[in-house]
Amino acid sequence: MSQTARFVQQVSRPRGRPTGAEFAFTEEPVPVPRPGTALVENVLLSVDPYMRENMDADWELSTPLEGRSIGRVTDSRTGALAEGDLVFHRQGWRTHAVVDPKDVRVLPQTPGVPPETYLGILGGTGLTAHVALSRIARLVPGETVYVSAAAGGVGSAAGQLARLMGAGRVVGSAGSPAKVRLLTEELGFDAAFDHRAGRLGEQLAKAAPDGIDVYVDNVGGEHLEAAIGAMREFGRIAWCGAIAQYDATEPPPAPRNLFDLVEKSVRLEGFLVRNHRDAQEELEQLLLPALASGAVTDRHTVTEGFDGIVDAFLGMLAGGNTGKATVRVATS
């Protein structure tokens, strides 16, 4: 094991899109766990859209950052964790972490389910999609679902989960022709379109000519406006994120049709997945058989090496990933 622990800190606030200059790498000797804790060497790190919002205020400057992580216990001073255990925790953006057993989850060793799945469709990413559909939108079998940023982590999970939950038609938007093909040819979407190729409202109307019942919003702005326009009466919008607005220095002009929510009796609800962690077992019961059978795919864009974490984060914000964006620090 390396004798040096490496960390990434945020050293300045961005204005507009981050450039990478806001981050700095630091190092120090590998920490020694206290009694009742354990040392974890991180194997996989997650980079997620919500982190862009954290950069504006939530993350304290010049301190190690937070993020979903999977690591292996290398030195345990607690009976609750054994050396060799693979654990999920939230001390990301670093190579090593000292963890308390109450703050980690020992991951099950499930045949055919690699560790990264617990950062992807079996982790917070998939849980976000599941909560959006089952608890917020309350999807009814046979309904039409539209997902924005559908080739990303949450979006690709939402489309596949909607199909498992009995959606009648699943439509997605993405940012390139290659991603559109991925949605329809590999991930089971009935229709998809490139949001850069024309007016959003017109493309959505063509993909869902009878309107939509449920919208899983990962983008906000013009995508939300288009979805409101396509909503059927009594539709539901689960607002997960607004990646189109995270770098904005002025309020966005859209959506300009919010009053249509009243006219159509549409419900729009935002949520934080951390308030729904009790749905994890339900998610796994639904997905484990589907993963084993190949009915569901957990796609990742993996950046190799800790040195690449800032580039992986910036690339994810720019839409460079398909599926979940992860960083492999070491082999598991």
Residues 136 and 249 in one domain: yes
Structural domain contains residue 293: no
Per-residue model confidence (pLDDT) at position 264: 98
Structural domain contains residue 106: yes
Residue ending a domain, among 258, 274, 290, is: 274
Residue 288's DSSP bridge partners are: none
Residues 65 and 136 in one domain: no
**CA–CA distance, 212 with 204 (Å, rounded to integer):** 9
Residues 218 and 242 in one domain: yes
Structural domain contains residue 283: no
Per-residue model confidence (pLDDT) at position 287: 96
Percent of the chain with pLDDT over 90: 92
Q: What CATH number has the domain bearing residue 261? A: 3.40.50.720
Structural domain contains residue 94: yes
Residues 208 and 136 in one domain: yes
Residues 112 and 132 in one domain: no
Structural domain contains residue 176: yes
Per-residue model confidence (pLDDT) at position 246: 82
Structural domain contains residue 284: no
Q: What is the pTM of this model?
A: 0.92
Per-residue model confidence as pLDDT tens digits over 152-168: 999 999 999 999 999 99
Mean pLDDT across the stretch 143-151?
97
| Residue 164 lies in domain | 124-274
Per-residue model confidence (pLDDT) at position 332: 60
Residues 6+ apart with CB under 8 A from 160: 121, 187, 188, 290, 296, 297
Structural domain contains residue 18: yes
Structural domain contains residue 170: yes
Residues 6+ apart with CB under 8 A from 137: 145, 214, 215, 216, 236, 237, 238
**CA–CA distance, 180 with 174 (Å, rounded to integer):** 6
Residues 109 and 128 in one domain: no
**CA–CA distance, 236 with 234 (Å, rounded to integer):** 7
Number of domains the chain contains: 2
Whether the per-residue pLDDT at 66 is higher than 60: the answer is yes
Residues 109 and 140 in one domain: no
